[in-house]
Amino acid sequence: MQPTNNSRRAFLKNAGLSGIALTLGIPVLAKNHTGATTSITDLPIFNPANSPLLDAAGSEGQSIELMTWISIDTKGKVTLHNHRAEMGQGSFQAVPQILAEELEVDLDQVTIAFAPGNQKKYGSQVTGGSSTVRGAYQQLLRAGACAREMLTTTAAKKWGAPKEECYAEKGKIFHKPSGRNFSYGDLVEDAARLEPPKNPTLKQRKDYKLIGKPLLRKDTPLKTNGAAIFGIDKKLPGMSYAVVERSPRILGKVKSFDDSAAKKIAGVTHVFAVKRTVFDHLQEGVAVVADNLWSAMQARKLLKIEWDDDGFEHVDTEQLFARMHEDLGKPGLNDRSAGNFDREYEKADKKIEAVYETPYESHACMEPLNCVAYVKDDSIEVWGPIQGP
């Protein structure tokens, strides 16, 4: 073995990479501007020449763009990545649950990680419109099935047995006639060298063990024992904290403010008016900056602000509901139409009418809206726990 002159940074990078043997993902199929659909086999992850196995000797300087959902190391540790934001709707549970179903692992055998924002790897990562499961369901199933088939093929080859005699269960590949088995960790290095199957065989719905089952959510303990890490938990050396007092009316402006009492709070460094664009109008407020969050919050309470509420309509909830009732009598906006409703309605023997109402709901997560920005001379690095990374 020839000695190499690796830097400390290179050694640390290589040492971390050497434990990862298989990383898989199925990209979201998309049509290009000509209308043609991108083939799965056209993407880097399905081209062994473009996706070499990383090892300690050859990994320096390599950067492989993969659309990654599944990682398995040589010790058998399985990491499943959730590519959508967890806002209480359950993506942290649902995405790994789909992957684990076809991969044949239990959720208590895996580590779940949030994927970084990278549309090249994961496709759209905007969370909204109930699109997480229905938008990626088939791709996630295929990702799990691909990994399972590659591991099964590898085990069959090691035993010199037909692939049909092998099956996957609970993170292992078993040989039916002999009862022998390999863990995924035993197989992962050789499996990583295979070309992923283009059309992996998916399980039948009746054989599902995880999907559709009442499983305990993996994120519930973390959110109840304080272990969950949120965006607002990000800390940097010497960080300042800012909070903003907004007008109680969306279109209200700052006429004047008295910050004398706020500036007496220990740790407060700046107080100033701010504006931000929201759609086609500006929202105004007064920001308080301090060297700790508690001081900033306490100082904000002491601000004396005179708001300018002129130049726009003032409405309340009752007025808005009254307008909506009036709008019910106006022609509706149709997404699509077919047939003649009015004619058929008149011909109906029995007619049923009902009105459904719901109050306004606050679209507010438990985590306060927040963002961390590290401003340097030539760049800004931002950490934002948002719906569209």
- Which range has highest mean pLDDT (72-81, 201-210, 328-337, 365-374)? 201-210
Task: Look at 280 and 258; give whichever has higher pLDDT.
Answer: 258
Q: Which two tokens stand for residue 79?
A: 């990491």
**CA distances to 84, 332, 338 from 335, in Å:** 28, 10, 11
| Mean pLDDT of all residues in 100-107 | 96
- Half-sphere exposure of residue 343: CA atoms within 13 angstroms, side-chain side: 3
pLDDT interval class at 212 (50, 70, 90): very high
Round to whole Å and give the CA distance between 17 and 14.
Answer: 5
Question: Per-residue pLDDT tens for 319-343?
Answer: 999 999 999 889 888 888 899 988 9
Q: What is the pTM of this model?
A: 0.72
Query: Which residue, among 306, 309, 303, has the nearest Cα to 251 in the 3D structure?
Result: 309
pLDDT interval class at 173 (50, 70, 90): very high
Round to whole Å and give the CA distance between 300 and 272.
Answer: 11
**Tell me, what's the pLDDT at 65?**
27
pLDDT interval class at 50 (50, 70, 90): very low
Round to whole Å and give the CA distance between 357 and 346.
Answer: 26
For 92, other C-beta atoms within 10 Å of its C-beta total 24
Query: Which residue, among 162, 155, 220, 161, has the nearest Cα to 191 in the 3D structure?
Result: 155
pLDDT interval class at 40 (50, 70, 90): very low
